[in-house]
A and B are shown apart, each in its own frame.
Chain A
Amino acid sequence: MLFLFRFLRNNLFTVTFILLFGISVFQILRFNLYQQSFYFNTSNAVLNSADRLKNNVTGYFYLRKANEDLVLENKRLREQLAANYVFYDTQTRSSKDSHGVLRYTYLIGRVISSTVSSQNNFITIDKGRTHGVRKGMAVLSPAGIAGIVLDVSDHFALVSSVLNSKFVATPMIPAINFREGSLTWNGEDPTVAQINGVNKFEKISPGMAVFTSNYSANFPPGVPIGRIKSFRRGGNSSFFEINVELATDFRKISTVYLVKDAFRQEIDSLAGKENRNGR
């Protein structure tokens, strides 16, 4: 015991260093292993007020880009209006689900902060629990997908953007009828994400449009992800390595839509039941 005390006294500085370093590493590991967002709760209040201040200044720089995005989106939505379609068969209805019940509703959020330079990038938005935001909700930008809600406080939400090493979505390439695989980000270029799982024998070409798949758990089907930029046959693998140019520019993102899925709870409980039965 005496030896321990003497050792501690003689090496107090090194021990302090190891202690502080240990605390930091513990935080890193906790975040990396369990993907918990506990860390973001602690500093939410300070964080959001500082980010807000920043956004009040920088928000003006992107007004023109935000406007252009909204105009483009309006055009796309106008083209989808029912009035543009001719229904030959009275039995055919364009419905997203079996009964023609509205499944997805959207909530508009303003981006307070968005990073692109880190390995794990986040978007903070000014809508929270009081506005009906829940963990796991899909987040879209006017141009395409943006991310998934990771953590919610009363008035703010933290979104894990596509540019995050933990983000995964299911892509769909209609041109080759491909709708599985995964969309991830390798941490290099903030404008380019990667698709894995496309068989080498598929005929793909640059410029093909990529959307979210109907197999996707979080995202509504058919939301633009981007276009194929380049692809490569990886050595021994039987899959393509595909780079996708993202539709969303995360450096200039200013408005987002949060997707409320009316069936989410039902699907989750069903999946939970299946898991329990599977065990």
Chain B
Amino acid sequence: MAVELLRYLAGAFLLLFFQFFLVQEINFGTWIKPMPYIYLIFIFPFSFNRFAVLGTAFLMGAVLDAFSNTPGHHAAACTVLAFARIHTDTQLVDRDAVQLQGYHNIQPGFKGFTYFAVYTTLLTLLHHLVFFSFMYFKISAFFLIILVSLLSTLATFALMMLYRVIVKPR
């Protein structure tokens, strides 16, 4: 268990490093602000304590907030994402079927890539909507928030897939 925890800690560190030193340095354009670091929240196994997942997500967001001068934005969005993921897993996903196939979380191998992609992008979109709502923080930017969230979700998903290729999941 301790080894397992260390593995996720290392993953969190790597993802934050990736986000802060690489992704935030690249200018993808005005509308695209990808945040692939949230991949960590997707790879927690079902068996993990849900309070631990929620707390880790909050902490990870808070750390990134401290580094990128966005007070509370990442923390709020990550907390919502973790909460939504846990609820999706308990309500909508057949966890026993996933574990029977030998996976600890939703993988492309479970019900095909489309299922995995829809699951990931919808949750990512939720995270981005929360994040950009707080970032723009005005009603007049409603359509802007939706546009930026949609485009960023696609970019985030692509970068998460890239991360999967580089750091192979077990």
Q: Interface of A with B (CB < 8 Å)? A: 13, 16-17, 20-21, 23-28, 30-32, 39-40, 42-43, 46-47, 50, 54, 58, 115-120, 122, 158, 187-190, 251
Contact = CB atoms under 8 A, between A and B. Distances in A.
Interface string B1-29: 00000000000000000001100110110
Nearest to A54: B21
A58 B72 contact: no
Contacts of B71: 27-28, 30-31, 39
Contact of B25 (A50, A58, A120, A122): A58
B129 to A, nearest CB: 14
Question: What are the 9 A-B residue pairs with the smallest beta carbon separation, nearest first?
Answer: A27-B72, A24-B76, A43-B66, A28-B72, A24-B75, A39-B71, A24-B72, A31-B71, A27-B71
Chain A contact residues: helix, strand, loop or mixed: helix
25 contacts: A13-B51, A24-B62, A25-B134, A27-B72, A28-B134, A28-B137, A39-B65, A39-B66, A40-B69, A43-B67, A46-B66, A46-B67, A54-B25, A58-B25, A115-B24, A115-B68, A117-B28, A118-B70, A119-B136, A120-B70, A122-B69, A187-B141, A189-B30, A190-B27, A251-B27
A14 to B, nearest CB: 8
B83 interface: yes
B118 to A, nearest CB: 24
B72 A20 contact: no
Contact of B55 (A20, A31, A39): A20
Given A28-B72, A28-B73, A190-B30, A21 B80 contact: yes
Given A50-B67, A188-B30, A25 B83 contact: no
B35 to A, nearest CB: 11
Contact of B27 (A13, A20, A24, A117): A117
B36 interface: no
A62 B66 CA distance: 26
A189 B141 CA distance: 15
Contacts of B159: none
